[in-house]
Amino acid sequence: MGRRLKRKTVSLLLVVMFVLTTIFPLGVLADTAAAQPFTVTLLGTSDLHGQLMGWNYFTKSAATGLTRVATLIAQERATHPNNILVDAGDTIQGTPLVYYYNKVNTAWMTDSAQNYPMIDAFKALKYDAWTLGNHEFNFGLGVLGPIIDKAKAANIAVLSANTLDTSAAVKDPLTGDQPVWSKVKPYTLKTLKDPDGNDFTVAILGLTTPAIPNWESPQNYADLQFADIVTQGTKWVQYLKNDPRDLKLMRLSL
């Protein structure tokens, strides 16, 4: 059961989805025969492509950017305090701003006092999770790795359950496959409150397009394999379903 709330933006580079999902925690249903549904608000961005500011650097005109989306996020959070904010990837490529930090001024990679602009914005907006997209690999692991480290330091979960480490000597005992790349997690958990003040936990599972080898230079994803989304997703969903905490599952992919 659920309902959906959609907002359109005016940018081809940015998709913002607001999904209101009704959740029935097992604990609530067990305690009362007529449990009242409640709403969790999913706030999601995708394909930001470095569009931090509301400005198009190529046409030199106003455009939709994350700074403008921040206003919508604040409005939704004020109305729906039980919320989750996620990004589905393709975040660090696409504007002169991110190119400058990816290729020209890379001092932030080794200086803990400096941050990466898109991650700094995600931190300010309190994103819960970021799933890797194919464009995250455009500049190689030497750039992506430090960006992931900055995200982790900002308490943003970086997800990709199907990005596997082919160099690992030991297979994952859960899936029987190569283990998930150590820089990322397959899923993350967020604990929220139901109307009675009881905790319930939502699992957010991240998956990345497996078509990256069709587009990307092999040296940019050395020792990584992008496994089938359905196969890996099914394995992790089953794992989370078996969790005794009665997790509510959300899938995030690009």
Residue 214 pLDDT > 80, yes or no? yes
Domain range for residue 56? 2-253
Nearest Cα neighbor of 184 from 201, 207, 202 is 207
- The CATH number of whichever domain residue 15 belongs to comes to 3.60.21.10
Report the candidate in 152, 143, 174, 145 with the shortest Cα–Cα distance to residue 161: 174
Number of domains in the chain: 1
Say yes or no to pLDDT of 161 above 70: yes
CA distance 198 to 30: 13
The mean per-residue pLDDT over the stretch 222-237 comes to: 94
Report pLDDT for 109: 97
Question: What is the band of 35 on the pLDDT scale with cuts at 50, 70, 90?
Answer: low
* Average pLDDT value for residue range 146-161: 97
Q: Percent of the chain scored above 90 by pLDDT?
A: 63
Query: pTM here?
Result: 0.83
pLDDT, mean of residues 26-38: 42
CA 189-236-206 angle, to 5 degrees, is 55
pLDDT at residue 86, as a whole number: 96
Could you tell me which residue, 247 or 188, shows the higher pLDDT? Answer: 188
Distance CA 28, CA 18 (A): 25
Q: Which residue has the higher pLDDT, 2 or 240?
A: 240
Query: Above 90 in pLDDT, residue 248?
Result: no
Does position 228 have pLDDT exceeding 90, yes or no?
Answer: yes
Confidence check: pLDDT of 38 > 80: no
